[in-house]
Structure 1
Amino acid sequence: MKLKFWILDVNYGLVGSIPEIRLWGIAEDGSRIVVLDRSFRPYFYLLVEEGREEDVKRTVEKHASRFRILKVEVVDKRYFGRPVKALKVTCQIPKDVPRIREELARLPGVKEVLEADIRFYMRYMIDNDIYPSAWH
């Protein structure tokens, strides 16, 4: 279903252990609506020592169930304009990200944790090209 609406606010909550993005707005006909999305998950990146991507990935995967990490993948990114390999770490619960970030930052081979400080609903808006106070 295609819907055009003016976004007033964006937040999230948990439904059980599933994060739910809530887009509050006004439809073209003037009715108030809320759009719910339970498909998005929090993530951040680990910048690792060159050539250690697979080693660090395996180490993170060993701790996946303890940290509720859903997926770890090697991705191509740019860091200060320079191409780098990074690990994208996808988690289950947004509020767990700070604790996971701190633990993983201490692993051998991890140089830096990137984008772990972006709020969950803001990450959703950035990734989906959503702007507040605008028609979508």
Structure 2
Amino acid sequence: VEYSIRLLTAASRNEKVDGKDRTLVYLFGTTEQGEPLAVRTPLLMPYFQVVEPTKDVLETLEKRDDIERLESQELWVDGDIKNCTKVTTSHPGNVPRVRDWLRNNGFKPLAADIPFHYRYLYDNDIGGCIT
């Protein structure tokens, strides 16, 4: 089923997905006919990037239970292409803890302060409704 909706807000909630606690994003809006609609979105895991992490830091992150996966990326940072790592966590609440740990160890996290439901909107290029 396809709908065209005017997005009013987004929210997230914890649910079981394949036996694991995951955070899902719900979009709330209205159809073109004015009917209210809630959309449960596909799973998106919370993530952020860290600039030029050392091998030791990556090894420490790999051992943490709250980290799902690490992926190498090249990103444009401060006018140069830099080696970065995408850090995917198991829950949005883990992002601030991991981000702060990285900052306290002298590393630069990127996009680690975006509320999870907004991250879904940004990643999927979804705009809101302004009246």
Q: Taking structure 1 as the reference length, what is the TM-score of the superposition? A: 0.81
Name the count of aligned residue pairs.
Answer: 126
User: Which of 82, 85, 91 is 2:83 aligned to?
Assistant: 85
Relative contact order higher in (CA < 8 Å, ≥ 6 apart):
1
Root mean square deviation, CA, Å? 1.9
Point out the more displaced range, 40-49 or 54-63: 54-63
1:112 aligns with 2:113: no
8 Å CA contact 1:48, 1:56 repeated in 2: no
Q: Residue in 2 aligned with 1:14?
A: 14
- Seq. identity, %: 29
Q: Residues 1-136 of structure 1: matches in 2 within 5 Å?
A: 1-16=1-16, 17-48=21-52, 52=54, 54-63=55-64, 65=65, 68-107=66-105, 111-133=107-129
Q: Which runs of 5+ in 1 are unaligned?
A: none
Q: What CA deviation, in whole Å up to 9, does each residue of 1:58-103 have, x standing for no partner?
A: 331022x1xx111111111110231111011011111221112122
Q: Which runs of 5+ in 2 are unaligned?
A: none
| Equivalent position amino acid for 2:61 in 1 | V
8 Å CA contact 1:11, 1:23 repeated in 2: yes
